[in-house]
Copies of this chain bind each other. A is one copy, B any other.
Amino acid sequence: MSELIEPRILKGFRDSMPQREAQRQQILSTLQEVFRLCGYAPIDTPVLEYAEVLLGKGGGETDKQVYRFTDHGGRDVALRYDLTVPFARFMAAHLGELPLPFRRWHAAKAWRGENTQRGRYREFMQVDFDVVGADSASADLEILLLMRQSLAALGMQRSVVHFSHRAVFNEFLSRLGLSARALDVLRIIDKERKIGAEKTRELLAEIAGAQTAPAILEFTRIEPTPRETLSKIQKAVGAEHAAAVRLAEVLTSLDRLGATGSFILDPSITRGLDYYTGMVFETFLMDLPDIGSICSGGRYNDLASLYCNQKLPGVGASIGVDRLMAAMEELGLLKGDLSAASLLVLCLDETLLADYHRFAARFREAGMAAEVYPEAKKLAVQFGYAEKRGIPLALVWGEEERKAGRVGLKDLRSRESFDGLTPEAAIGKAKELLR
C-alpha cells in the first residue's frame, strides 16, 4: 500500500461546506433577481488572463500579491485579482457588440496572495455591478439606489449609503495648499472611526499644522441636514464646481424620492487609494456599525484606457461576499441548513427499492426535498443519519405497510408517528408538519 497524501488545503483557501454553500447560493440567487429586474446583464470572464492584460506594463504594489506564472505555451499568465480589470478588458474587447450604456453584474472569485493574518482569504468572492457609457447624475443615483436595494433584498433593511465626490476633498485640500500631502491626509481621515477625533487631530496637525487640522476635521463632519452639508461643500469648492453640481443633482433626486434618510452626504468618504474620479460610496449597517463598508464603489471616468482609445465613463459598486456573509450571520439573517432534505425514505427491505424511489419522487413533485436511505441498515443507523443531517421527517414502508397498502410517517423532532396513511395523506401530513 502506498503512502497516504495529506488532504490539506492551501493557507488562505477554504472548502465551502454544504450549509455555507447553500446559503451563498441563496444570496446569489436573490441578487441575481435584483439585477435582472434592474436590467443588469450577467457576464463571466476567464479566471486566467495574460499577465500584461491584468497588470499593465508597469509593476505596481498589487503585482506582488498576484498569482502569476508561465503556462505550457510559455505565456506569462495570471489569476485575476479583482473583477474590475477583467471587466475593463472585456469592454475593450467587445466594444462593437455591446450597446451603450452597458449594465453588467459579475459574481465570481478572485485571488490575491495576501497576508492571511488579518482574517483575509487568498481566494474570495465578489459581486460587482456597473453602468458603463454614461457620465450622468442618473447613473450615479441608480448605483446608489441599487446598493441599498441589494442589501435590502437580503434582509438588511437598516443600511445607509454614505456618499461624496472624490474631487470635493481634493479641491478643499488644494485650496489649503495641501495637495502634495493629500494621500496622507486621506489615510488619516479614513482611520477616524477607529482612532477617534482626538488622535486624528493630532496626526493631522503633524501634516497640516495645529491651526489647519481642526478646519480639515470640521470639513469632514456630516452637518445636521444634507442641505447644510452641501452648502459647506459649495462654499469650499465653489457652487459651480462640477463635483458640487453633481452632488446637488443627486441630493435633489434623493429628496424627491423621499430617500434622504438612507443616503448620507458625508465629506469624509474619499476611498482614498482607489481609481475613482467622481462620486464615491460606502455602505454601513446601522445594526453593525463596526463591520465597515460591505458594499463600496464610485465613478471612474475612463474604464478601459489601458486597452482602447474610446472613453468609457462608468459608475459601479462591489460587494465582498465574505464580509457580507459575516454580517448576515451576525444579524441572524442566514437561514439554517438549506441543503438538508425534508424527508428521508427509510430503507427497510431492499426488494422494495423501486417503491422507495417512487415515494421520493412523489414527495418531490409536491415540492418537498426527499431522499432515499440507500441500504437496509439498522433503523437506529438510519435515524442517526437523519438526525445528523437535520432531516425532520421519515417515511416508513416495509413488508407490513406494503401488505396493508398504507405508509407510516414519523416526525423525528417530536418523535410522533402517523400510521396507516395513504400516500396522498402522507404527503398532506408532511406538508402540514413542515409548515
CB of A372 within 8 Å of the partner chain: yes
Q: How far is the CA of A139 from the CA of B374 in the complex (A)?
A: 5
The answer to whether A253 touches B353, judged by C-beta atoms less than 8 angstroms apart, is yes
Chain A, 320-377, CB within 8 A of any chain B CB: 338-341, 347, 350, 353-358, 360-361, 364, 367-375
Question: Which of B70, B374, B389 is A138 in contact with, Cβ under 8 Å?
Answer: B374
Copies of this chain, complex-wide, total: 2
Residues on the B chain within 8 Å of A39, using CB? 340-341, 369-371, 391
A67 partner, pick from B48, B113, B138, beta carbons under 8 A: B48
Q: Which chain B residues border A69 with CB–CB below 8 Å?
A: 67, 69-70
Answer whether residue A77 sits at the interface, using C-beta atoms and an 8 A cutoff. Answer: yes
A353 near B15: Cβ-Cβ < 8 Å: no
B123 near A48 with CB under 8 A, answer yes
Instruction: List residues 31-71 of chain A with CB under 8 A from any CB of chain B.
Output: 32, 36-50, 52-53, 56-57, 64-65, 67, 69-71
Interface: A224 (CB within 8 A) = no
Q: For the complex, is A13 an interface residue (Cβ under 8 Å from B)?
A: yes
Q: Answer whether residue A99 sits at the interface, using C-beta atoms and an 8 A cutoff.
A: yes
Contact A43 B16 (CB under 8 A): yes
- CA gap between A369 and B40 in the complex, in Å: 9
Q: How far is the CA of A373 from the CA of B21 in the complex (A)?
A: 36
- Asked whether B257 lies within 8 Å of A357 as measured between CB atoms, the reply is yes
Asked if B309 and A4 sit within 8 Å, CB to CB, the answer is yes
Query: CB within 8 Å of B: which residues of A?
Result: 2-11, 13-18, 21-22, 24-25, 29, 32, 36-50, 52-53, 56-57, 64-65, 67, 69-73, 75, 77, 79, 89-90, 92-94, 97, 99-101, 103-104, 109, 111, 113, 123, 131, 134, 136-139, 141-142, 145, 249, 252-257, 304, 306-309, 338-341, 347, 350, 353-358, 360-361, 364, 367-375, 384-385, 388-389, 391
Given known A138-B353, A353-B141, contact A15–B358 (CB-CB < 8 A):
no
The 9 tightest CB contacts between A and B, nearest first, are A39-B371, A69-B69, A18-B41, A39-B341, A256-B354, A16-B44, A41-B339, A13-B46, A99-B388
Contact A22 B42 (CB under 8 A): yes
**A136 contacts across to B, CB distance below 8 A:** 350, 374-375
A374 to chain B, nearest CB (A): 4
Check if A364 sits within 8 Å of B37, measured CB to CB: yes
Give the distance in Å from the alpha carbon of A384 to the alpha carbon of B100 in the complex: 10
Residues of B contacting A79 with CB < 8 Å? 47-48
Of chain B, the residue at the smallest CB distance from A341 is B39
Check A5/B45 contact, CB under 8 A, given A38-B369, A142-B357, A370-B39. Answer: no
Complex Cα distance, B45 from A251, in Å, reads 44
Q: A10-B77, A44-B21, A67-B48 are in contact. Are A90 and B374 (CB under 8 A)?
A: no
